[in-house]
Amino acid sequence: MKRITLLSVIVIIISGFNCSKELATQSDPQPDSRLLFYNLDREIHTITNNQDQPEYIFNGAYPIWLDSKSQIGFHSPFNNDYYVYDIDKDDTVRTYDITKHGGFSNGRFSEYLNKFLFSFELDGQPSIILMDLSGNIETISLDYPIKNPVCSGVDDWIYFLNFIDGTGDVSRMKSDGSEIEHFTSSADFIYSNFSVSHDGNFIAVPKWNESYHSIAIIDTRTKQERSIDLTNLNLVGYTSFSKDNKYIYFTGGDNRDLYRINFDGSNLQQYTDSSSEYYYRPLSW
């Protein structure tokens, strides 16, 4: 793997923020935190705290870590196939032909269930798809459009965005389709692609309207919500927790660069500084 030069500290003060914005460096507490993401050209990359440029892996979309942290699941950019690639072996270790099912999207992986999760719609019927490592399919049919099905690492709750009223709100249900609960319901804000913490205790979800951009942190035990105001950054999306809940990763700014902020909303840091790339869905576990 090519060695990348270390990044010197660059501090950029943003007017209107209560915290500093700086490019992440090797002095960070977790220097080997490894983010996985892709760009508008369907190129999958990783980056660590001590790299100043993303490292290209291969072409694909919606990449996810499997529990080994060396294997990546991703959608083919050319067809409906789904692949698992081992970075250390530099080889594709599993291929799933899902063409006969149509196009699954927004793939994620549940360590607890040991299954992939996808959103899916066929003949107007919205569904959540569960696929085990052998390629066996289970379908949970729903009465309203959904997207972004995600899981924690410790239980069988499936979280997703429901579009009952067309705006996107956060809900969850058990992996058998039972016990549906709703966490948000607001006509004033739009909620977009989000993540659940590994321990299942928190949701970090972008929350915005024309004049306000934030990350809403929702406690799944109490359903209490607090917001990290990022209006000056603009276009906040694709949140993800570090495994210890210390950090929240997300995309933001006009070029969808990668950022990290402490769980309490302090110490905003920028991972990439791009004038041409758009980055999507940074995942750290």
Dist CA 191 CA 45 (whole Å): 26
- pLDDT, one tens digit per residue, over 88-134 is 899 999 999 887 776 788 889 999 999 999 988 877 788 999 999 99
- If one counts the domains in the chain, the total is 1
The one-letter amino acid at 19: C
Residue 252 lies inside a defined structural domain of this protein: no
Residue 28 lies inside a defined structural domain of this protein: no
Q: Can you give the CATH number for the domain in which 171 is found?
A: 2.120.10.60
Residue 234 lies inside a defined structural domain of this protein: yes
pLDDT at position 11: 29
- Which residue range(s) make up the domain with 143? 34-45+55-240+277-283
Residue 26 lies inside a defined structural domain of this protein: no
Q: Are 183 and 171 in contact (CB under 8 A)?
A: yes
- pLDDT, one tens digit per residue, over 6-36 is 333 222 323 333 333 444 543 444 445 788 9
- β partners of residue 174: 157
Residue 11 lies inside a defined structural domain of this protein: no
- pLDDT, one tens digit per residue, over 172-196 is 999 999 999 999 887 778 888 899 9
pTM of the model: 0.84
Residue 161 lies inside a defined structural domain of this protein: yes
